[in-house]
A and B are shown apart, each in its own frame.
Chain A
Amino acid sequence: MTWRGGRAWRGAAALLLAACARPAADDRVTLRFWAFGREGEVVQELVPEFERRNPGVRVRVQQIPWSAAHEKLLTAHVGGSTPDAAQLGNTWVPELHALGALEPLGARAAASSAPPAAFFPGIWETNVVDGEVYGVPWYVDTRVLFYRTDLLAAAGYATMPTTWAGWREAMRAVKGRMTPGQYPILLPTNEWPQPVILGLQTGAPILRDGGRYGGFRDPRFRQAFDFYVGLFRDSLAPALSASEISNRYQEFARGNVAMMITGPWEIGEFSRRLPPELQDRWMTAPLPGPEGPGVSMAGGSSVVVFRSSPHKELAWKLVEFLAEPAQQLRFYQLTGNLPARRDAWQDTSLARDAHLRAFRAQLDRVRPLPKVPEWEQIATKVFEYGERAVRGRATVDQALAALDRDVDRLLEKRRWLLARGALGTRPAAAGEAR
């Protein structure tokens, strides 16, 4: 019995070995590419063209859900099983760079068909860490205002104001025509982009001293934070977290909220989920700023090449391919993700879409978020203390002082590493000169 079992095992092992050996026997090169969520699904429709142009190359796309992406990347790095190239949320670039996982791409990019100047500068900047380029923008994500044109018009506003003061006036006017359970703007209390963007708008450094300490008590951030909390204080926004709003499209359609700050994917969602009679009653607008048109954050995804890849040149070719205007457009048509390349926006399908105009205008005014690996954690702290202030559990000054204290503690390790010279020493704060 045991003997026969042993033979069965050996047989299975031999089969397994053969299965592992087969790709090597094939003389085609296999490029492994990871992409997340819907993007991972759609990019499979782009790769056949790349394979056609590069005979002998096969691209194996692995689709990973967004919720698992971050953990998967880190474990893959630890386990030495990173792919050749991958999509990367651009706030993750500094983090993977800190791990030493990314291949520098600056020299390749400068000499290619995807030079830095072809992209929106604020978006390109998100890929630059310690003076070197580690990714090429794939698509952009920034936040603008989505609003109900009919509700604004009824309150006497044909267009969205461009200053904070005007914006707040418009909200007051809209509020005047609403019932007590309705609010001019929806700012979910567990989302950090809204308070952070307002901070970027006042020119607050967010982090100070090269990303060594929190800069939230800076008067500029305080001004933004106070404006944010004030919207709740004056009942212009409801103190609700995103998980309490079961269906934000329904609330928008019912006129329970008239505005929200959100990203490009909502254009598709709004077209699908809002009832037909509402389709010509919503519009997008660039974000107002303290003194005039305001900045927004530079989000989106980049494509990176991993340092451990044995096929770096080929992987770079794939990056370059995905950055081509034609591929960027095709990707936009398949996903609704906005092209990161400026020349792709000249295409009529983008230029004609009224809802995209605000995004096009906003993209000229975007700022990167602080480029420290701890950013996600810091961002979570921002909304947590924002929520405390919004719900009246802390004053604005108490919340900001506590926020700085927590963030300083989070950055302790980074300060130690910088002092040891274990990290690049160039300042990494947001709002740095481009």
Chain B
Amino acid sequence: MLDIRRPIARLGHNVIDGVWRAGTMARFFGLVLASSGTSFSRFRLVMREVYFSGVLSLIIIIVSGLFVGMVLGLQGFQTLQKYGATESIGVLVALSLVRELGPVVAALLFASRAGSAITAEIGLMKTTEQLTAMDMMAVSPMARVIAPRFWAGIISMPVLSLLFSAMGVFGGYLVGVVMIGVDNGAFWSQMQAAVDFQYDVLNGLVKSFVFGIAITVIATFEGYDAPPTAEGVSGATTRTVVTSALTILALDLVLTAFMLRAD
């Protein structure tokens, strides 16, 4: 009897806990927005965080963008060759990057590179009672620590995603035109004919913007909510990466479904 009830009880406990956390996270998000004034009056705080989460992520974003573009080029060439349409390789690389891979892969990298760092930093600040000390000095940790990181993430994410897409297209160009020898003019002109600025590029930008909000809210919340122990911080960091990855992919599905138009 006991054996059957326990897993069910645990499942119910996890569900209730999840709903509880979601509610707390929503309140946390509202609190971050409410205490964002300092981030703009002292914009240097945000710039410092853009440096740590955005500029320092540049290398991984640029290199992976280049590799993803090159792989897309090689794989696309394999398939397109069968149909004698190798000139369309530019279209394939550009559309898949600008619409999907750019925002999504850049967001996944950002979550694991910068999101985990934010959680660990805030979690350790909480563990060493720096946040409490700030509160005692009448400095709001929300305004001084959390909000700047939130806005830095919103600024960094679209920039990183754009760079990822641009580097990916360049990688596709390297493989398609330089290595394989697809005609340069056909490569670019077919790409330009197929990629629409508003529909493809701007929608990709909207996606990365939404992902930026999601990642930073999750990362700062997990850090702020972490149990003040070494174990607690490590668990929070892991949860940040897992939760943001799942959130990004789920949001991507929803956003794509909204953005797709039937014409």
Task: Say whether A associates with B.
Answer: no
Chain A positions within 8 Å of B, measured between CB atoms, are none
